[in-house]
Amino acid sequence: MAEPFRLIPSQGTGPQTPWPENRRPLADRPVLAIVHASAGKPTVLRWSEMPAEAGGRPSRLRITVAMDHRQAHRVKVRSGVKGEPLGDIDILYSTAGEVFELTLSAAQSQAALAEGLSLSLDEPAEPLWVLAVAEAVPPAIRPHLLVTDRAEPPDVETFFRLFCSMATLQPCDWMETCVLDGLRDWSLAGRADAAAALVDHLDAFFPATGRFLHEDTRGEPIDDEPTGQENHGPMAVLAMTRPEHPALRITAEALRRQFNPDAGGVAQGRIVAETSYSVAYVMLAMALHAGVEEFEDLALQQLRMNRRRLAGPDDLWLRCDPAGGERTFANWSRGVAWYCLGLVRTLRLLEPDRRPTDLLDEVRRMAAWVATCQARSGLWPCYLKEPDVLPDTSGSAGIAAAVALGVRSGMLDASFFGVAERACNGLRKFLTPDGWLTGVSQSNKQETHAMDIQRSAYRVIGPWGMGLFAQLLAALDGEDGHG
């Protein structure tokens, strides 16, 4: 093989299941339904070729979720003719764009290529919608088999070839924010593929027509309407690249409405760490690049509100009730990442002599604190002070990216660079042969709390984690600067 891996695309047919009303798949891509036997026929994947290099090799079956789901699904995979069970794929509370895989032995791979595969749900549930094989769907996220000889993690260039593509498109909220910042970082560093992918990603939501095409967190279309406080993040890169786009005006009006004077910042019902990244960073980008001048002071005010309400001497909470003061989700790694990354990226937009001293002190305090919680692996537990909990690679990448950006921007001493480098080395071990980042904790939906999914061993391939990893790689590789 020219590459140490090969994707073998399938052809797929599914049951005649009606698409749910008032929903839309990410980027309006073609889809297949997977249902329980009581609701229709199984989804069938077939292969028209059996490449010589696939013979006698194990493989990975891959499918990609097309929309947000609020249920737990288990997909039973059987051989297409004999019906022999080959394994199950647990797809719990999935989000659009997540990739799931099942490892097949050499014999099972041979059976899959010869007979095809039959996919159905283990128990009655709403259909699971996955991306189909179609021209509008990038090959890396169509149903396929991955065949590889690679035992070691791939080189970073393999990661970049996948990351700098439309395969990593995420919903236009906090997930795509991570990807857009990673693409822009590498575009500024001179990667042509990152620059092209950045244009394609932005065009998916912010076309030249001036429309704002996106869905809410449940996959319901909300075109030309604003989103909530946790999901404004894509507007930062939009402001820095397309400052005249009408979506920025829509968002500016929403941020003004969402401002809570009693809390001292944007707070829709509760104060959340996400808003350091999805509000403060966005506001300052809009102030400096899109002419919304009053947002500069409000951006810094947002950071201070979050510091005051969410940060303790040795803890960081994700959420706070502004009325009663109750704080929840202490030291959750992705919440720590949002707080730190938003703080650093916001201040980094300012010239060094304009960065407020009190907020620079907070950058240094947080960096010193996260350094004490870093595991020997270089990563952070999903809850920083619970070392028995598995790491979350996305949270770890976000924390490390904030530290590395802090060093690059002159906010942190160079000694902290080692913290980011150790994290980067640990994260490389979670890359698949073709460049996906595994080990990401699932989206923190209300429906997942009953099973405490963040403390569980359940992990996914969430491309937002790749965006955070790309930001880390850029900060480790890049030049000092801002903006």
Burial class (CB in 10 A: 0-12, 13-18, 19+), 326: exposed
pLDDT at position 1, please? 41
Please indicate, yes or no, whether the overall pTM of this predicted structure exceeds 0.95: yes
Structure tokens at 77: 């995979």
Report the C-alpha gap between 17 and 379 in whole angstroms.
42
Report the C-alpha gap between 400 and 344 in whole angstroms.
11
Beta-carbon count within 10 A of 136 CB: 11
Domain definitions of the chain by residue range: 5-148, 156-477
Per the CB < 8 A criterion, the answer to whether 370 and 340 are in contact is: yes
Burial class (CB in 10 A: 0-12, 13-18, 19+), 250: middle
Tally of residues, the chain: 483
From residue 399, how far is each of 232, 373, 395, 439, 476 by CA, in Å? Answer: 20, 11, 6, 15, 13
Q: Per-residue confidence of the chain (483 residues) as pLDDT tens digits?
A: 456 788 898 999 999 999 999 999 999 999 999 999 999 999 999 998 766 666 678 999 999 999 999 999 999 999 999 999 999 999 999 999 999 999 999 999 999 999 999 999 999 999 999 999 999 999 999 999 999 877 778 899 999 999 999 999 999 999 999 999 999 999 999 999 999 999 999 999 999 999 999 999 999 999 999 999 999 999 999 999 999 999 999 999 999 999 999 999 999 999 999 999 999 999 999 999 999 999 999 999 999 999 999 999 999 999 999 999 999 999 999 999 999 999 999 999 999 999 999 999 999 999 999 999 999 999 999 999 999 999 999 999 999 999 999 999 999 999 999 999 999 999 999 999 999 999 999 999 999 988 999 999 999 999 999 999 999 999 999 754 445
CATH of domain 156-477: 1.50.10.10
Structure tokens at 258: 């969402």
Second CATH level (architecture) for the domain 5-148: Sandwich (2.60)
Q: What are phi and psi of 410, to 5 degrees?
A: 80, 10
pLDDT at position 62, please? 98
pLDDT at position 52, please? 61
pLDDT at position 468, please? 98
Q: What are phi and psi of 338, to 5 degrees?
A: -60, -45
Residue type, 342: G
Distance of CA 131 to the CA centre of its chain: 18
pLDDT at position 51, please? 67
Give the closest residue to 297 by CA, choosing from 312, 282, 287. Answer: 287
Task: Give the 3-state DSSP-derived string for the chain, with helices as H, strands as E and coil as C.
Answer: CCCCEEEEECEEECCCCCCCCCCCCHHHCCEEEECEHHHCCCEEEECCCCCHHHCCCCEEEEEEECCCCCCEEEEEEEECCCCCEEEEEEEECCCCCCEEEEEECHHHHHHHHHHCEEEEECCCCCCEEEECCCCCCCHHHCCEEEEECCCCCCCHHHHHHHHCCHHHCCCCCHHHHHHHHHHHHHHHCCCHHHHHHHHHHHHHHCCCCCCCCCECCCCCECCCCCCCCCCCCHHHHHHHHCCCCHHHHHHHHHHHHHEECCCCEECCCCEECCHHHHHHHHHHHHHHHCCCCCHHHHHHHHHHHHHHHHEECCEEEEEECCCCCCEEEECEHHHHHHHHHHHHHHHHCCCHHHCCHHHHHHHHHHHHHHHHHCCCCCCCECECCCCCCCECHHHHHHHHHHHHHHHHCCCCCHHHHHHHHHHHHHHHCCECCCCCECCECCCCCHHHHHHCCCCCCCCEECHHHHHHHHHHHHHHHCCCCCC
Report the C-alpha gap between 116 and 97 in whole angstroms.
24
List 129's β-bridge partners, or say none: 33
Report the C-alpha gap between 213 and 203 in whole angstroms.
9
Beta strands 99-104 and 59-64, pairing class: antiparallel
Structure tokens at 53: 């290099």
**Most distant CA atoms of the chain, gap in Å:** 70
CB-hemisphere CA count at 13 Å for 416? 26
Per the CB < 8 A criterion, the answer to whether 332 and 383 are in contact is: yes
